[in-house]
């Protein structure tokens, strides 16, 4: 064999190495961009939030029970907004968590492959519907239906907003829970059947406990989604910033204002950019960011703490 017929492997190896390095650099840039975006958001919130806290005491912000940023006498207590957010979160959790887990059990343990291929995409379509559509659906259809059962319910109320947000987060609960259940080895199921357990007993006594870390993570992530929901609650729940008891059923029949709805109201109002009312928007946003970040960290801790490793 002549020397000219021998391929230049070093040249090919060098070209492949450069290509791999270029791909690595692209992937690193994408990862760094997401981190830099998050850092930029935090810095933007923190800068104006610190300006706000130089004018309003943090103690007053977190302990005052009245929220009137644009009406004299001005009051910047965030507790009514936290209570309104908590009402929507609790109401949506009562609807979404059990329905999401039951749906996941059906898809994982009972549904045929054909049925699963139809139902799962149909569920995920719910996550693609714009939230403003959900809000108007709650206002136009759910609230009138609820008024036949609760005559004293207000036009803008927390109950219809909780129902619609609960429907919105069902796909998140069911999808993540189903993935966790599908990761449970079939050997555990077969062991349960070998002991004489029924399919229901295997599903609830073997599969669900084995997938509990993923199920709990789906709960927390879905609740974080409910806390951060904006347009649906702004349209359906109203803007009545009053401190109410989130565990009082009658509070769900009236109007409430969430933290996100307050941000929308301040952002779309005619307050000036240098005013304290406008700066309070960033203080609310920073508070909301810390809450959701804490819940995501809790989800990660639960997932790592209770994760089952199968070999």
Map out the domains of the chain as residue ranges: 8-55, 67-305
Nearest by Cα to 237 from 143, 131, 126, 144: 143
Average pLDDT over residues 181-193: 87
Asked if residue 307 has pLDDT above 90, the reply is no
Average pLDDT over residues 97-122: 88
Nearest by Cα to 202 from 116, 96, 108, 112: 108
**What superfamily would CATH give domain 67-305?**
MetI-like (1.10.3720.10)
Q: What is the pTM of this model?
A: 0.84
- Tell me what pLDDT residue 163 has: 94
* DSSP designation for 141: I
User: How many of the other CB atoms lie within 10 Å of CB of 310?
Assistant: 9
Both tokens of 289, joined, read: 């960011």
Average pLDDT over residues 104-109: 90
231-254: pLDDT as tens digits: 889 899 888 888 888 888 888 898
Q: Give the long-range contacts of residues 261-264, CB within 8 A, separation 24 or more.
A: 261/84, 261/230, 261/233, 261/234, 261/237, 262/67, 262/81, 263/230, 263/288, 264/230, 264/231, 264/234
When pLDDT is cut at 50, 70 and 90, the band that residue 8 belongs to is low
- Tell me what pLDDT residue 7 has: 54
- Tell me what pLDDT residue 310 has: 55
- Tell me what pLDDT residue 297 has: 84
128-145: pLDDT as tens digits: 888 889 999 999 999 999
- Tell me what pLDDT residue 14 has: 57
Asked if residue 94 has pLDDT above 90, the reply is yes
When pLDDT is cut at 50, 70 and 90, the band that residue 5 belongs to is low
> Mean pLDDT score of the chain, rounded to an integer?
85
């Amino acid at each position: 064999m002549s020397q000219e017929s021998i391929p230049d492997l070093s040249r090919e190896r060098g070209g492949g190495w450069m290509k791999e390095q270029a791909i690595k650099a692209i992937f690193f840039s994408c990862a760094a961009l997401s981190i830099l975006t998050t850092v930029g958001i935090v810095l933007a919130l923190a800068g104006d939030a610190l300006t706000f806290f130089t004018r309003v005491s943090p103690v007053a912000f977190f302990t005052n029970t009245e929220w009137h940023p644009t009406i004299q006498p001005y009051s910047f207590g965030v507790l009514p907004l936290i209570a309104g957010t908590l009402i929507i979160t609790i109401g949506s959790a009562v609807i979404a968590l059990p329905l999401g887990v039951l749906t996941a059990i059906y898809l994982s343990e009972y549904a045929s492959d054909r049925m699963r291929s139809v139902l799962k995409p149909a569920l995920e379509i719910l996550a693609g519907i714009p939230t403003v559509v959900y809000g108007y659906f709650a206002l136009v259809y759910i609230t009138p239906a609820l008024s036949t059962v609760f005559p004293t319910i207000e036009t803008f109320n927390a109950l219809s907003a909780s129902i619609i947000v609960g429907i919105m987060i069902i796909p998140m609960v069911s999808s993540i829970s189903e993935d966790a259940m599908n990761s449970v080895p079939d050997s555990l199921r077969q062991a349960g059947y070998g002991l004489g357990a029924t399919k229901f007993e295997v599903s609830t006594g073997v599969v669900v406990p084995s997938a509990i870390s993923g199920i709990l993570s789906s709960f927390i992530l879905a609740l974080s989604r409910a806390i951060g929901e904006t347009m649906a609650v702004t349209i359906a729940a109203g803007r009545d910033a009053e401190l109410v008891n989130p565990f009082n059923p009658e509070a769900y029949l009236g109007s409430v204002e969430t933290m996100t709805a307050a941000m929308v109201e301040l952002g779309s109002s005619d307050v000036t950019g240098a005013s304290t009312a406008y700066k309070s928007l960033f203080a609310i946003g920073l508070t909301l960011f810390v809450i959701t970040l804490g819940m995501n960290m809790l989800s990660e801790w639960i997932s790592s703490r209770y994760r089952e490793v199968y070999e």
